Chain A
Amino acid sequence: MLMLSSTVSIKHEEENYMLFDNSNGNIYKINEVSHKILSLCDGENSNENIILSLTNEFDVAKADVKKDFNDLIKILLNKQYIYDNDN
């Protein structure tokens, strides 16, 4: 299951959503959906669960959510901002 790396944190402040790389200081502006995905990457939610929560919360088609989710996860895994704790 997906989990946020220990060097990364997320923040929602007023209308802003951010991802911090606490090791090199990079700050990324993210959107609300990405923030939600990352907040659910706690090592306990399956990908299916995360997608379900998003579909319920954001009133979008499951197929679209799935695509957004897969795209984002690919980038984040690549950057090692998240990891799969099953591996």
Chain B
Amino acid sequence: MGLYNMDSYNNKKHINNDFYAQWHFIDSCNLRCIHCYQDDYDYKDIDFDILNSIFFELDAAMSKWKMKCFISLSGGEPFLKPEGLFYLIDLIEQSDNFKNIAILTNGTLINNDTIIKLKKHKKISEIQVSLDGHNEETHDKIRGAGTFLKAIESIKRLKNAGIKTSIMFTLHDKNKDSAANMPKLAASLNIDMLTVERMTTMTKTEEQDFFIEASELKTIYSNVYNEAKKEFSNKDTELSTSRPLWNLIDENLGGYCPVGFSSICILHDGTLLPCRRLYLPIGNILTDGLFKVWYNSDILWQMRKKNDKSECFVCSHSERCGGCKAISYYHNNQDLSSKDPQCWI
């Protein structure tokens, strides 16, 4: 019996050894954003034993699979519990199995002390601040009064300190008019990376309130892309376009959903999800271990397979796209392999 490499299940042509983990190590947040999937706001203390156990599981898996992990630390709001956040960063920095650390934040709790601490850690490659509008009015309607200015202030502080900073704009029906203005804002702040990514509407009510139809999304993506080209031409700022559907704007962009191949989402209590936008618990890293879930989850196996009955399977874009599985799942009667409902072709 020879050792078998899981990579043969990867349909992508260019296999590399990067793994992406998004770890929501706390579930508390100081904000109440209208589109957020977080619904537990208890300010619990950090359980360091849990952090250790999850870290060791992930570290062992990276070592076994000979993969290098790019990890995003998030919450809730990660800076709400700096003791947990910096403890984890220290742990991660000591392991060769982890390449980079990103911190995903709402940007309202970053002060000068935080910046000093962040600067000490070499593996922190990016602080991603969520901005849901190009101005105070749009952003604060979604995230709460005063949050836009706080986030902008944090971005400036981070950039002044020489820390790579990116903006995450979660696009939906209530902020769609802001989207094409985001590149200008990002350029003015000298941001390193701007991500404009669609919100996953998980319920019928969310769909009614937030969903953007495919034809409209096409216009929005095109406008964002053209604005970014213009605004970023003499800058180091980039537009992140590695997710499904960007390939329809430019065939060199986009990317196949990494779920089941090279990414996982871990919640504060160890619950494992295929992706944070796909709330289908597939096991628990603390009780099952990562290997067991990764090798045996039916959902992951389903997502690894290309379904030859799906419209995406026969699409010429499938290598770089395949659609977002989460959006497809919630929109199309829980069918993971159905066509992305926001695809405009």
Q: Which residues of chain A have a CB within 8 Å of any CB of chain B?
A: 9, 11, 13-14, 16, 18-30, 34, 75
Contact = CB atoms under 8 A, between A and B. Distances in A.
Contacts of A23: 289, 291
Given A16-B8, A23-B291, A11 B1 contact: no
Contacts of A75: 1
Contacts of B5: 27
A19 B1 contact: yes
A11 B4 contact: no
Contacts of B162: none
B291 A22 contact: yes
A34 B2 CA distance: 13
Which secondary structure dominates where chain B touches chain A? helix
Nearest to B301: A13
Contacts of B291: 20-25
Given A9-B296, A75-B1, A27 B9 contact: no
Contacts of A20: 291-292, 295-296
B9 A13 contact: yes
14 contacts: A9-B292, A9-B295, A13-B9, A13-B304, A13-B305, A20-B295, A23-B289, A25-B64, A27-B6, A28-B1, A28-B2, A29-B2, A34-B1, A75-B1
Interface residues of B, number: 20
A27 B61 contact: no
B61 A11 contact: no
B295 A29 contact: no
Nearest to B5: A27
A29 B64 contact: no
A9 B292 CA distance: 8
B296 A29 contact: no
Contacts of B6: 27
A57 to B, nearest CB: 21
B308 to A, nearest CB: 12
A11 B304 CA distance: 14
Contact of B60 (A25, A28, A29, A30): A25
Contacts of B1: 19, 28-30, 34, 75
A18 B4 contact: yes
A9 B6 CA distance: 15
B73 to A, nearest CB: 23
A29 B289 contact: no
A31 to B, nearest CB: 9
Closest 8 CB pairs of A and B: A25-B64, A29-B4, A22-B292, A28-B1, A20-B295, A27-B4, A25-B291, A22-B291
